[in-house]
């Protein structure tokens, strides 16, 4: 068997958050190149005609777009209800959505902290918990988190971001410790 066959995702469905640009877009396209159909979500993703949709459809894969403000819990829960109703089986979850707000720690307002933590940490936990429990029930699934070098280094003028990415590193380990043996 060729090594590329080990990466064949034909027939799989991947949900990629923050897929409009950057790392999320690259991951969505790569998953489609490997054969997966992609569900994309971002706060500002066009429902039709986005660049990521065009690239994925050009590969012969399906793409479905959603918009969600992960900073608002009600919006997150509404998205989860809608996406799981439309796609009862999500094989791969890529937690990539994130934000950064810059101000020195001594001046970093609560609003910055709350928004970054809600988007980068809380939303990823809730989404993983709710999609992941379906994976556990099936005994199959993959969850990927995008962290940052600041997970380990801290940062300057980005205390909320550094804290949230450090938490994502630990959250990844916590989910792996509980779920890895369950498929």
Active site residues: 161
* SS3 annotation, the chain: CCHHHHHCCCCCEEEEECCCCHHHHHHHHHHHHCCCEEEEEECCCCCCCCHHHHHHHHCCCCEEEEECCCCCHHHHHHHHHHHHHHCCCCCEEEECCCCCCCCCHHHCCHHHHHHHHHHHHHHHHHHHHHHHHHHHHHCCCEEEECCCCHHHHCCCCCHHHHHHHHHHHHHHHHHHHHHHHHC
Q: Is residue 18 within 8 Å of 67, Cβ to Cβ?
A: no
């Amino acid at each position: 068997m060729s090594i590329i066959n080990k990466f064949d995702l034909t027939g799989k469905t991947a949900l990629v958050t923050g897929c409009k640009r950057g790392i999320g877009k690259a991951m969505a396209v790569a998953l489609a190149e490997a054969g997966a159909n992609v569900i994309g979500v971002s706060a500002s993703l066009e429902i039709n005609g986005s660049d990521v949709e065009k690239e994925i459809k050009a590969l012969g894969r399906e793409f479905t777009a959603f918009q969600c403000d992960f900073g608002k819990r009600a919006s997150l829960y509404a998205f989860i209800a809608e996406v799981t109703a439309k796609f009862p089986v999500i094989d791969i979850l890529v937690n990539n959505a994130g934000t950064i707000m810059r101000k020195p720690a001594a001046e970093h307002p609560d609003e910055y902290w709350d928004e970054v933590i809600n988007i980068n940490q809380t939303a990823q936990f809730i989404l993983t918990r709710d999609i992941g429990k379906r994976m556990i029930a099936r005994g199959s699934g993959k969850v990927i988190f995008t962290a940052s070098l600041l997970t380990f280094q801290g940062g300057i003028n980005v205390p909320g971001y550094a804290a949230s990415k450090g938490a994502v590193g630990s959250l990844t380990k916590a989910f792996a410790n509980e779920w890895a043996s369950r498929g």
